[in-house]
């Protein structure tokens, strides 16, 4: 699928390319990492995630031949290198890896994200997916075959897993590519497709769920690789394996409740998951995350941290009135943080797309 080095400066002067992809919240995250999922594949390791309409946008602009520039409005930063010298271990390493794979130069990759930086929402994966979609659109302009969603997912995961030295799962890229509300069963032993994806809610169901979820940024960033490494080490030793298996059962029940639109039962399963997470992943619970989750449970909702926790985002599920009350409670708590805030969002039904492409709004 890779191509010889080619300069895009003239092409992009005529046709700047725009694409975007959503981030996600989840239940059962970590099970998508091979170290957990592959040895226990017989247990049907499962993750449920909800794509959020907090999208990450990528635009390809022309730049000087031979060079690749990455800029991010959210990081207030940029890096510029010759294509054959791009680093894969910088803060933009994934973006440079994408450019290197396709062999394109003479371009700037400009990234803008609606979601907070390092918030546990899979923002880096969304950026990677959006960048690959943008380069796929370039291939179409060059009269080459455009990548399908399956190809984008495959490439986005393996590139990000490579630059993170094998510490990535597949759920972030999955939500960004397909959008919606999905149950994923991980089958890494398969040669072709290492997952089974089941869409849990149609457009109306996604609309109903959007009214019953609440997401908030805790005000502090997190570093998922460090936290995941601690969890994997304990799992590999066998110290936490039985707890992870019980957590997997909970996530499967949670998926069924969402599919049947039993919101209160789903909230209860989130509370059950958090109870086990407190035992096996205590590093995920900062004081502010603990307080937000406790407040949600007192309101009759269920809540958990997104991604690996340890900062970042907390999200809740509950009945409409309870969620509205919780919004006020969380907003009051977050006033005491420097950057914490409620994230106004709902389920994103679309997944990765070309910006400017007609989209039917389910809301």
C-alpha dist (Å) from residue 62 to 8, 14, 77, 78, 277? 7, 9, 18, 15, 47
3-class DSSP state of 58: strand
3-class DSSP state of 22: strand
Q: Are residues 154 and 230 in the same domain?
A: no
Q: Other CB atoms closer than 10 Å to residue 176's CB: what's the count?
A: 33
Q: Are residues 334 and 236 in the same domain?
A: yes
Q: Are residues 168 and 225 in the same domain?
A: no
Domain count, the chain: 2
Alpha-helical (H) ranges within the chain are: 9-14, 34-37, 93-102, 123-141, 149-163, 171-178, 203-210, 224-237, 241-259, 263-280, 287-298, 320-334
Q: Quote the CA–CA distance of 295 and 302 in Å, as a whole number.
A: 9
CB 126 within 8 A of CB 172: yes
From first to last of the 363 residues of the chain, give the pLDDT tens digit. 445 799 999 999 998 999 999 999 999 999 999 999 999 999 999 999 999 999 999 999 999 999 999 999 887 889 999 999 999 999 999 999 999 999 999 999 999 999 998 999 999 999 999 999 999 999 999 999 999 999 999 999 999 999 998 889 999 999 999 999 999 999 999 988 999 999 999 999 999 999 999 999 999 987 777 788 889 999 999 999 999 999 999 999 999 999 999 999 999 999 999 999 999 999 999 999 999 999 999 999 999 999 989 999 999 999 999 999 999 999 999 998 989 999 999 999 999 999 875 444 443
Q: Are residues 248 and 331 in the same domain?
A: yes
Q: Are residues 18 and 61 in the same domain?
A: yes
Q: Are residues 197 and 212 in the same domain?
A: no
What is the side-by-side order of every strand in the sheet holding 313-317? 302-305, 313-317, 213-217, 341-343
Burial 111-140 (b: 16+ CB within 10 A, else e): bebbbbebbbbbbbbbbbbbbbbbbbbbbe
Task: Please check whether residue 352 lies inside any domain of the structure.
Answer: no
Task: Please check whether residue 56 lies inside any domain of the structure.
Answer: yes
Q: Quote the CA–CA distance of 101 and 221 in Å, as a whole number.
A: 29
DSSP-based helix, strand, coil % in the chain, nearest 5:
45, 25, 35
Task: Please check whether residue 359 lies inside any domain of the structure.
Answer: no
pLDDT at position 192: 87
Q: Are residues 118 and 226 in the same domain?
A: no
pLDDT at position 3: 53
pLDDT at position 222: 76
pLDDT at position 221: 86
What CATH number does the domain containing 263 carry?
Answer: 3.30.70.890
Domain ranges, residue 240:
204-343
Task: Please check whether residue 363 lies inside any domain of the structure.
Answer: no
Q: Are residues 60 and 187 in the same domain?
A: yes
Residue 306 has what DSSP assignment? Answer: S
Dihedral sign, CA of 264, 270, 276, 282? negative
Instruction: State how far Cα 94 lies from the chain centre.
Output: 14
Task: Please check whether residue 210 lies inside any domain of the structure.
Answer: yes
Task: Please check whether residue 172 lies inside any domain of the structure.
Answer: yes
Q: Are residues 107 and 243 in the same domain?
A: no
- Structure tokens, 258: 């969402």
Task: Please check whether residue 351 lies inside any domain of the structure.
Answer: no
Q: Are residues 180 and 212 in the same domain?
A: no
What CATH number does the domain containing 21 carry?
Answer: 3.30.230.10
Q: Are residues 285 and 171 in the same domain?
A: no
Q: Are residues 193 and 214 in the same domain?
A: no
pLDDT at position 357: 57
Instruction: Please give the angle made by the CA atoms of 147, 151 and 154, to the nearest 5 degrees.
Output: 150
């Amino acid at each position: 699928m890779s191509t010889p080095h080619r300069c895009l400066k003239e092409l992009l002067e005529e046709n700047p390319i725009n694409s975007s992809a959503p981030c996600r919240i989840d239940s059962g995250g970590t099970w998508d990492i091979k170290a957990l999922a592959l040895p226990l594949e017989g247990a049907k390791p499962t993750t449920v995630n909800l794509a959020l309409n907090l999208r990450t946008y990528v635009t390809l602009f022309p730049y000087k031949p031979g060079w690749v520039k990455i800029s991010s409005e959210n990081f207030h930063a940029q890096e510029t290198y010759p294509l054959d010298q791009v680093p894969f271990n910088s803060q933009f390493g994934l973006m440079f890896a994408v450019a290197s794979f396709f062999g394109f130069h003479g371009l700037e990759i400009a990234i803008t994200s609606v979601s907070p930086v390092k918030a546990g929402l899979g923002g880096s994966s969304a950026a990677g997916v959006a960048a690959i979609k943008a380069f796929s659109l370039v291939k179409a302009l060059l009269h080459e075959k455009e990548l399908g969603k399956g190809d984008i997912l495959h490439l986005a995961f393996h590139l990000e897993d490579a630059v993170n030295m094998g510490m990535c799962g597949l759920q972030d890229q999955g939500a960004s590519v397909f959008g919606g509300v999905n149950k994923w069963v991980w089958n890494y032993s398969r040669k072709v497709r290492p997952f089974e994806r089941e869409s849990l809610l149609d457009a109306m169901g996604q609309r109903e769920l959007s009214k019953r979820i609440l997401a908030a940024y805790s005000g502090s960033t997190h570093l998922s690789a460090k936290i995941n490494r601690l969890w994997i080490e304990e799992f590999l030793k066998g110290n936490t394996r039985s707890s992870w298996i019980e957590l997997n059962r909970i996530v499967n029940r949670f998926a069924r409740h969402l599919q049947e639109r039993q919101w209160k039962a789903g909230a209860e399963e989130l509370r059950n998951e958090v109870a086990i997470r407190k035992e096996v992943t205590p590093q995920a619970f900062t004081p502010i995350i603990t307080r937000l989750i406790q407040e949600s449970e007192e309101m009759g909702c269920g809540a958990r941290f997104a991604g690996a926790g340890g900062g970042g985002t907390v999200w809740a599920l509950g009945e409409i009135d309870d969620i509205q009350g919780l919004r006020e409670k969380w907003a009051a708590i977050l006033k005491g943080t420097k950057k914490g805030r409620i994230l106004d969002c709902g389920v994103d039904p679309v997944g990765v797309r070309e910006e400017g492409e007609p989209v039917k709004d389910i809301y």
